[in-house]
Amino acid sequence: ETGVTQSPTHLIKTRGQQVTLRCSSQSGHNTVSWYQQALGQGPQFIFQYYREEENGRGNFPPRFSGLQFPNYSSELNVNALELDDSALYLCASTRDRDLRDEQFFGPGTRLTVL
Amino acid sequence: AQRVTQPEKLLSVFKGAPVELKCNYSYSGSPELFWYVQYSRQRLQLLLRHISRESIKGFTADLNKGETSFHLKKPFAQEEDSAMYYCALSVAYGNKLVFGAGTILRVKS
């Protein structure tokens, strides 16, 4: 069983640019959630995808968007990057949104915006 | 609004001493609470959840709805318990998590 993987590991962008982060869910999982973890804080929920549809969103602006593919992998896109977007972005997958199962986290992508 | 509060950024104890990591929550619905742990250079992982009522690595946590708390306890700390601990609340349909800011536990020899 393969765990949750994320790419890239690290990324440096400048203000105003766009970025795409990728996540492969654990085998057998159809629900993916994205979290932003700023330095010294706990992860903050961005949005969740279930069977290719967005299934809930946290308090993040529309320039944060996502996709989920038929194989349940997912992308997080951030447009018009701001300095405050610098954070660790975590992806988590779970077997099914209806089961309230454990969420399995990836190692994260560290984004730095200069 | 949903909120999880972990009042201590750092808790430092000696090996063999009891540990209590505090967690308070605010949620109008029926809460489901978790403790996640992150060891050095490892990813975030589930330690325990209140509905399972089990003890993992000697840790227990009891949900107190009256005090809206879910404190994590262990009677005798071990050096390998040193890690970052996050309390999290599951809200709404789909098991979305609201995390506290985390507490670093340092167990000294």
pLDDT digits (tens, 9 = 90+) for A27-81: 989 999 999 999 999 999 999 999 999 998 999 999 999 999 999 999 999 999 9
Would you say B83 and A39 are in contact if contact means Cβ atoms under 8 Å apart? no
pLDDT at A1: 58
Helices (H) and strands (E) in chain B, counts: 0, 11
Q: Which residue, among B21, B95, B103, would best test binding to A if mutated, counting the most A CBs under 10 Å from its CB?
A: B95
pLDDT the model gives residue A39: 92
Instruction: Quote the mean pLDDT of chain B.
Output: 93
Distance CA A51, CA A54 (A): 8
Average pLDDT, integer, range B84-94: 85
**A53 — contact with chain B (CB < 8 Å)?**
no
Q: Are A81 and A113 in contact (CB under 8 A)?
A: yes
Choose among A4, A42, A101: nearest Cβ to B86: A42
Best B9, B33, B44, B46 member to test A by mutation, with max A CBs in 10 Å, is B44
Q: Among A31, A90, A101, whose Cβ lies nearest the Cβ of B44?
A: A90
Contact of B36 with B44, CB cutoff 8 Å? yes
Q: Is any Cβ of chain B less than 8 angstroms from the Cβ of A94?
A: yes
- CA gap B28, A40 in Å, rounded: 27
Position B22 scores a pLDDT of 98
How far does B17 lie from chain A, in Å, by closest CA? Answer: 26
Smallest CA–CA distance from A105 into chain B, residue: B44
pLDDT of amino acid A47: 95
Q: Are B1 and B93 in contact (CB under 8 A)?
A: no
Lowest mean pLDDT among A10-14, A97-101, A102-106, B42-46: A97-101
Mean pLDDT in residue range B34-39? 95
Average pLDDT score over residue span B49-55? 81
